């Protein structure tokens, strides 16, 4: 089937639903997902534009709030209206919009919207079907609920950060905001749970998402090591460990970059030993003293680990990343290239599956590539078709056509700093 | 525990999932849905049980596959049955189960499900509106079709290792197999979206899920930055392009650290008021851009200040001053974190032999239909009676026969 036919047949499952998007960078991935599934997501920006428009990097490095690649990436498909919630007439407009919405997703400090009379209880009173998702660093209630968060701070509080980095160095982050991405993802999943429930009961509810707990989802095994096995996890450059020093589990330099090798004893280590032997590079690995390491999960000393890893290091240095990865696949060994962003962007698999999405930005005279859909199906679609909106680009459509405000009303609201 | 399973009024009551998955990703996805009341039935057999039952996680050396805390956690709130899919009658029995299912999930290597005779085209004949999610490493097409790669392989290929660590040092792996603990929610979203699609159209569908592709949103703006500017983001330690100080600073004691991030001028004023008011007059630090430029120097000054202090006390004082900060908590610290205690994050089981196991609530609290802990991951065949008698209406003679033949078992 051709792509065009496919798109014709496919259906966006959330197309009938409207989302009022009051997120910031800590939760915006949630509404991006809802927009990818076809929801009518209306980003509500304060007059003058949303603060996330100032987040870099920028298109052609021009730090113009109209050219934020952060804004572009996270607001695909969405509409934008401006609205000042600090003004009474702004709040009134919000309430009118809330009656038309199926979801509200917000990232304000707990209590902020309640103080404005726009919290879940108030919206629920006028629209009992609403699914109202609050994404905060620590959750809506509790002793830390009013504390501030950031991606790094939440990563620290979740236990994730302490387990990333060298054993003898400081904990270190991932360069992309993983806490925010993971939180947005889990928030979208919980929001969809509440939506599914609403389809049966007709009633919405409040969905209270904690970023701290979201990133804890990453460290399920270390949490168990501690709580159930009474081991003390510690960070290494090969991830968190709790006992022993696994051999042949590390990152190794090759002729043209790095690979990661991740073997477990019988699957992986044994065929790897054979592979080294085939090129005369197995050293003393067939000595009986090493059998335990290749046949079971033996714990070794630092010296023993270095001895075995050095043999593989010498082998890896003679090969390319691709030779090692595909050779390992044939032999049932887990080795992969350590790709950089450029490698990912040029990956043959992703190209063949048409993974990246090119979205037109007519005003910039070109298009930009974005991450695509996580799945393929002839039924439903996950699709990006419209660039992120300009500030208030849809004011006329929403306020004028839909809410029926006259041009004079809108001028008055604009002059009053409401929209 | 073979008693009747009550029909609840949970968020996802009435949704039944047949789960052929193993490992982390697929089991955690259906477990998340089960936390909210979906009936997720895990299919295993004595000959091909989920390999996680054999993972090195035994408590007190007890190697019983029914007593593996990691398996129990990854499959919390699910039911378990035994069907031997290597026997034709086992496949027939599995198809009867599919006949009463809304969703079928599997993560075998590509083609295995077809070889077993449980491919989508066959299943839709039994249940025309069934939703089937096949989640493999690379999906059903392309060079990585059939690629075998567990979590640490996946995040290396996705660019995450290259993005982790220090700019002047080699790449490194993040704490855990990142995709294994990210994709479960992605697949949960996809399953719920497919249920919505079915509601509108009356149709099921086959979903070709690719783990490799499903994780790439974690590259954040790096994709657009490469596309628009030709720049490839790489690791940058604990720095942030629009905040300084922004780091993890050594505190008093062994391996104690506090994360501090200063984005706004207001936060900056609070910080120097706490530390050293002369910083206010330092021209190198007067604007955010200058502070970012002098981040090395700021980090040095920060650590001079933090290293003599107790991390928790420091983080609380910084927060009181309006500066985002937190202790880099160890997993031991999480046990006593007052916020997690308040939110009842950790769930405990009172089942015999599972007192030491740990279960966890999802990160979202739903006000009307919260997730709740109903049971640990299933013992092998724990819910055979409920599923075969109550759901499939099998008569005891047939059941005995199938057990005898090793079809159930």
Distance CA B103, CA B192 (A): 10
- pLDDT of A3 reads 47
3-state secondary structure chain A: CCHHHHHHHCECCCCCCEEEEECCCCCHHHHHHHHHCCCEEEEEECCCCCHHHHCCCEHHHCCCHHHEHHHHHHCCCCEEEECCCCCHHHHHHHHHHHHHCCEEEECCCCCHHHHCCCCHHHHHHHCCCCEEEEEECCCCCCCCCCCCCCHHHHHHHCCCHHHECCCCCCCCCECCCHHHHHHHHHHHHHHHHHHHHHHHHCCCEEEEEEHHHHHHHHHHHHHHHHHCCCCCCECECECCECCCCCCCEEEEEECCEEEEEECECCCEHHHHHHHHHHCCCCCCCCCHHHHHHHHCCCCCCHHHHHHHHHHHHHHHHCCCHHHHHHHHHHHCCCEEECCCHHHHHCCHHHHHCCCCEEEEEHHHCEEEEECCCCEECCCECCCCCCCCCCCCCCHHHHHHHHCCCCHHHHHHHHHCCCC
Asked if the Cβ–Cβ distance from B171 to A251 is below 8 Å, we say: yes
The whole-angstrom separation of Cα A149 and Cα A156 is 10
Give the closest of A147, A329, A343 to B147, CB-based: A329
Q: Which residues of A touch B105 (CB under 8 A)?
A: none
The verdict on a CB contact (< 8 Å) between B224 and A368 is yes
A-B contacts at Cβ under 8 angstroms? 495
State the fold for domain B246-335. Answer: formyl-coa transferase, domain 3 (3.30.1540)
Determine the residue of chain A that is closest to B156 in CA distance: A338
Nearest to A79 by CA among A409, A412, A406, A392: A392
Cβ neighbours of A159 in B, within 8 Å = 329-331, 333-334
Which of A37, A171, A251 is facing B161, going by the closest CB pair? A251
Instruction: Using DSSP, state whether B222 is helix, strand or coil.
Output: helix
The answer to whether residues A175 and B166 touch, using CB atoms and an 8 Å cutoff, is no
Q: What is the pLDDT of residue B351?
A: 86
Radius of gyration (C-alpha) of chain A in whole angstroms: 26
Alpha carbon distance A160, A216 (integer Å): 7
Q: CA of A274 to nearest chain B CA: how many angstroms apart?
A: 19
- To the nearest whole Å, the CA of B105 is away from the closest chain A CA by 14
Please state, for a pLDDT cut of 90, what percent of chain A lies above it.
90
List the single residue in B188, B197, B340 with the smallest CB-CB distance to A380.
Answer: B197
Average predicted confidence (pLDDT) for chain A: 95
What's the pLDDT at A2?
40
Chain B contacts of A214, Cβ < 8 Å? 363
Residue B199's pLDDT is what?
97
Tokens of A183: 């939180």
Name the β-bridge partners of A42: A20, A79
Structural contact between residues B44 and A214, judged by C-beta atoms closer than 8 angstroms: no
Q: Indicate the burial class of A306 (C-beta count within 10 angstroms; 0-12, 13-18, 19 or more).
A: middle
Chain B CA closest to residue A214: B363
- Per the CB < 8 Å rule, is B224 touching A199? no
Question: How many percent of chain A have pLDDT more than 70?
Answer: 98
The pLDDT value given to residue B5: 47
pLDDT, averaged in runs of 10, over chain B (409 residues): 56 97 97 98 96 86 90 98 97 98 93 91 96 93 89 93 98 95 98 98 96 96 98 98 97 98 96 94 93 97 97 98 98 97 96 90 97 97 98 97 97
Nearest CA among B404, B317, B12 for reference residue A201: B12
Residue-wise pLDDT for A379-395, tens only, equals 999 999 999 999 999 99
Q: Do A376 and B140 touch (CB under 8 A)?
A: yes
On chain B, the residues whose CB falls within 8 A of the CB of A259 are: 156
pLDDT at B383: 98
For residue A225, which residues of chain B lie inside 8 Å, CB to CB?
Answer: 331
Q: What number is the average pLDDT over the span A367-382?
A: 97
- CATH 3.30.1540.10 region(s) of chain B? 246-335
Chain B hits for A155, CB-CB cut-off 8 Å, are: 259
Which pLDDT score, from 0 to 100, does residue B270 have? 97
Residue A59 to residue B221, Cβ atoms within 8 A: no
For residue A245, pLDDT over 80 is answered with no
Sign, CA dihedral B30-B36-B38-B39, equals positive
At A376, the pLDDT band (50, 70, 90 cuts) reads very high
Provide the shortest C-alpha distance from residue A349 to chain B (in Å). 5
> Which chain A positions have a beta carbon within 8 Å of B140's beta carbon?
376
| Structure confidence by residue, pLDDT tens digits, A144-198 | 999 999 999 999 999 999 999 999 999 999 999 999 999 999 999 999 999 999 9
E strand or H helix at B93: helix B88-98
Confidence of residue A243 (pLDDT cuts 50, 70, 90): confident
What is the residue whose two structure tokens read 């003293």?
Answer: A289
pLDDT in tens, A341-360: 999 999 999 999 999 999 99
Which of the residues B52, B62, B250, B259 would you substitute to probe the A interface, choosing the one with the greatest number of A C-beta atoms within 10 Å?
B259
Contacts of B330 in chain A (CB under 8 A): 159, 162, 233
A164–B217 CB contact, under 8 Å: no
Which residue in chain A is spatially nearest to B333 when comparing CA positions? Answer: A159
Nearest by CB: B205 against A205, A221, A378: A378
Which of B221, B333, B366 is opposite residue A193, by nearest beta carbon? B366
Question: Which class would CATH give B16-217+345-404?
Answer: alpha beta
Angle (deg, nearest 10), helices A178-201 and B183-201? 30
Contacts of A222 in chain B (CB under 8 A): 175-176, 331
Cβ contact (<8 Å) for B248 and A156? yes
Residue A294 pLDDT exceeds 90:
no
Q: Would you call A159 and B238 a contact, using CB atoms and an 8 Å cutoff?
A: no
CATH 3.40.50.10540 location in chain B = 16-217+345-404
pLDDT band at A212 (very low <50, low <70, confident <90, very high): very high
Residue B209 and residue A374: Cβ atoms within 8 Å?
A: yes
Report pLDDT for A301.
Answer: 86
Q: Do A175 and B233 touch (CB under 8 A)?
A: yes
Tell me what pLDDT residue B111 has: 85
């Amino acid at each position: 089937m051709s792509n065009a036919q496919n798109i014709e047949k496919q259906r966006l499952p959330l197309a009938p639903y409207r989302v009022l998007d009051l997120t910031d960078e800590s939760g915006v991935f949630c509404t991006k997902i809802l927009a990818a599934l076809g929801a009518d997501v209306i980003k509500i920006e304060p007059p003058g534009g949303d603060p996330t428009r100032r987040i870099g990097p920028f298109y052609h490095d021009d730090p113009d709030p109209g050219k934020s690649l952060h804004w572009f990436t996270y607001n695909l498909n969405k509409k934008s209206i401006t609205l000042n919630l600090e003004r009474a007439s702004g709040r009134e407009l919000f309430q009118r919009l809330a009656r038309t919405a199926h979801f509200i997703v917000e990232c304000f400090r707990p209590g902020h919207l309640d103080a404005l009379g726009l919290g879940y209880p108030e919206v629920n009173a006028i629209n009992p079907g609403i699914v109202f998702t609050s994404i905060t660093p620590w959750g809506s209630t509790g002793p830390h609920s009013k504390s501030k968060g950031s991606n790094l701070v939440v990563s620290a509080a979740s236990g994730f950060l302490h387990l990333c980095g060298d054993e003898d160095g400081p904990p270190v982050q991932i360069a992309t905001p993983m806490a925010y991405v993971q939180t947005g993802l889990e928030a979208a999943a919980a929001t969809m749970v509440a939506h599914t429930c609403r389809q049966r009961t007709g009633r919405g509810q409040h969905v209270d998402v904690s970023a701290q707990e979201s990133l804890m989802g990453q460290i399920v095994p270390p949490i168990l090591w501690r709580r159930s096995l009474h081991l003390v996890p510690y960070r290494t450059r090969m991830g968190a460990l709790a006992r022993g020093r696994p051999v042949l589990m590390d990152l190794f330099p090759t002729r043209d970059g790095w690979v990661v090798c991740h073997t477990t004893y019988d699957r992986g280590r044994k065929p790897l030993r054979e592979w080294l032997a085939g090129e005369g590079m197995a050293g003393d690995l067939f000595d009986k003293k090493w059998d335990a390491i290749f046949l079971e999960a033996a714990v070794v000393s630092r010296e023993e680990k270095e001895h075995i890893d050095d043999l593989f290091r010498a082998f890896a240095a003679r090969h390319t990343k691709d030779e090692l990865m595909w050779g390992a696949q044939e032999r049932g060994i887990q080795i992969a290239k350590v790709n950089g962003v450029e490698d990912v962007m040029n990956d043959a698999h992703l190209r063949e599956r048409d993974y990246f999405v090119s979205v037109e930005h007519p005003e910039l005279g070109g298009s930009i590539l974005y991450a695509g859909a996580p799945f393929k199906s002839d039924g439903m679609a996950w699709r990006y078709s419209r660039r992120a909106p300009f500030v208030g680009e849809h004011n006329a459509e929403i306020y004028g056509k839909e809410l029926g405000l006259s041009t004079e009303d809108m001028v008055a609201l604009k002059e009053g700093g409401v929209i | 525990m073979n008693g009747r399973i009550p029909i609840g009024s949970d968020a996802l009551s009435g949704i039944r999932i047949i789960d052929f998955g193993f490992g982390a990703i697929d089991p955690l996805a259906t477990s998340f849905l089960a936390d909210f009341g979906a009936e997720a039935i895990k299919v295993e057999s004595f000959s091909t049980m989920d390999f996680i039952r054999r993972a090195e996680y035994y408590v007190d050396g007890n190697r019983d596959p029914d007593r593996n805390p990691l398996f129990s956690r990854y499959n919390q709130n699910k039911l378990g049955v035994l069907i031997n899919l290597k026997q034709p009658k086992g496949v027939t029995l599995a198809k009867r189960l599919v006949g009463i299912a809304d969703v079928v999930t599997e993560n075998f290597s590509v083609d295995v499900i077809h070889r077993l005779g449980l491919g989508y085209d066959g299943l839709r004949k039994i249940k025309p509106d069934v939703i089937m999610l096949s989640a493999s490493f690379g999906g059903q097409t392309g060079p990585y079709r059939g690629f075998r790669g567990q979590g640490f392989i996946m995040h290396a290929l996705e660019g995450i290792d290259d993005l982790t660590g220090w700019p002047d040092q080699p790449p490194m792996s993040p704490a855990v197999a990142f995709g294994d603990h990210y994709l479960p929610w992605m697949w949960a979203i996809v399953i719920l979206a497919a249920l919505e699609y079915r509601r509108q159209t009356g149709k099921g569908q086959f979903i070709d899920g690719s783990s490799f592709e499903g994780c790439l949103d974690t590259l954040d703006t790096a994709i657009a930055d490469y596309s628009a500017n030709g720049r490839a983001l790489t690791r940058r330690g604990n720095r942030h392009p629009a905040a300084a100080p922004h780091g993890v600073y050594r505190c008093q004691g062994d391996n104690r650290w506090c994360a501090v991030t200063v984005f706004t001028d207001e936060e900056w004023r609070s910080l120097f008021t706490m530390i050293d008011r002369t910083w206010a007059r330092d021209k190198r630090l007067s604007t955010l851009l200058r502070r970012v430029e002098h981040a090395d120097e700021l980090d040095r000054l920060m650590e001079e200040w933090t290293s003599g202090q107790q991390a928790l006390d420091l983080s609380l004082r910084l927060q009181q001053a309006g500066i985002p900060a937190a202790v880099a908590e160890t997993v031991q610290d999480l046990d006593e974190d007052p916020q997690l205690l308040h939110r009842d994050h950790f769930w405990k089981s009172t089942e015999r032999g599972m007192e030491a196991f740990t279960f966890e609530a999802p990160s979202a609290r739903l006000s009307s239909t919260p997730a709740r802990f109903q049971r640990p991951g299933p013992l092998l065949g724990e819910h055979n009676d409920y599923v075969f008698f109550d759901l499939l209406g099998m008569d005891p003679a047939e059941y005995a026969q199938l057990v005898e033949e090793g079809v159930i078992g």
